[in-house]
């Protein structure tokens, strides 16, 4: 499989070869990677990329970066990216723990978090992508008017996230506990792989949109 338009990318992809090796090199310079100035939206924990590839196809005017920890799933997103030939999408394999090493202050305009792992044990709470610790990291990279959009079917994680947002001093712009029946918030909604799976099981989908106060 060939990779296109990606600085430093290798020609062949396997489970250990990814579109942007050493992403830290591009901190503060992501517009150079895309070769144009445009808003930058990222998804953390993109899995196989169903959501972000559809979004990138729908909005060619936005630069997108997908971040995923595991190569075994990211490789599927790379395949989709290549099939759809999306010049406005780049993918990074990394743990979001080090997100502030990769993006400069104010460089990101929007962060999507979709069906993030719930880490149900209390001792793992800091690993939840909506914990106060992660919100502090997002504060470092988000533009002044940037925001975070979070969807999940996991009610305890949703309530935890609302509390974390309040503790971290974030402002809630929108909230629903039944997205698919919320006409306003569901407008233009793109289903993620997990969203399709869980809503088919009858689980209501929760969504919140947060910005810095």
Interacting residue ranges for ligand SAM, rule: CB under 6 A: 44-47, 67-70, 73, 95-97, 114-117, 192-195
Is there a binding annotation on residue 64? no
Rounded to a whole number of angstroms, the minimum distance from the CB of residue 38 to ligand SAM is 23
Strand-strand pairing, 206-212 and 142-152: antiparallel
Does the annotation count 117 as an active-site position? Answer: yes
Is there a binding annotation on residue 68? yes
Is there a binding annotation on residue 171? no
Rounded to a whole number of angstroms, the minimum distance from the CB of residue 79 to ligand SAM is 15
The residue number whose beta carbon is nearest to ligand SAM equals 45
Contact by Cβ (8 Å): 129, 152: no
Cβ proximity to ligand SAM, 16 vs 37, nearer residue: 16
Rounded to a whole number of angstroms, the minimum distance from the CB of residue 85 to ligand SAM is 22
Contact by Cβ (8 Å): 23, 94: yes
Out of 101, 109, 117, 145, which one is annotated catalytic? 117
**DSSP single-letter state for residue 23:** G
In angstroms and rounded to an integer, the radius of gyration of the C-alpha atoms of the chain is 17
Cβ proximity to ligand SAM, 144 vs 188, nearer residue: 188
Q: Which residues are catalytic?
A: 117
């Amino acid at each position: 499989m060939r990779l296109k338009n990606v600085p430093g990318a290798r020609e062949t992809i396997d489970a250990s070869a990814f579109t942007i090796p050493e992403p830290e090199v591009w901190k503060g310079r992501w517009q150079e990677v895309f070769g144009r100035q445009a808003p930058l939206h990222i998804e953390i924990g993109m899995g196989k990329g169903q959501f972000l590839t559809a979004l990138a196809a729908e909005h060619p005017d936005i630069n997108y970066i997908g971040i995923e920890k595991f190569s075994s799933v990211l490789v599927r997103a790379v395949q989709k990216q290549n099939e759809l030939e999306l010049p406005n999408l780049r993918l990074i394999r990394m743990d979001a723990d080090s997100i502030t090493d990769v993006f400069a202050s104010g460089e990101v305009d929007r962060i999507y978090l979709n069906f993030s792992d719930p880490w149900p044990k209390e001792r793992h709470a800091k690993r939840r992508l909506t914990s106060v610790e992660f919100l502090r990291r997002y504060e470092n990279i988000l533009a002044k008017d940037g925001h975070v959009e979070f969807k999940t079917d996991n009610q305890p994680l949703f309530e935890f996230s609302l509390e974390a947002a309040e503790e971290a001093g974030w402002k809630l712009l929108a909230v629903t506990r039944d997205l698919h029946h919320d006409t306003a918030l569901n407008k233009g909604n793109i289903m993620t792989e997990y969203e399709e799976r869980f809503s088919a099981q009858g689980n209501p989908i929760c969504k919140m949109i947060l910005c810095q106060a």
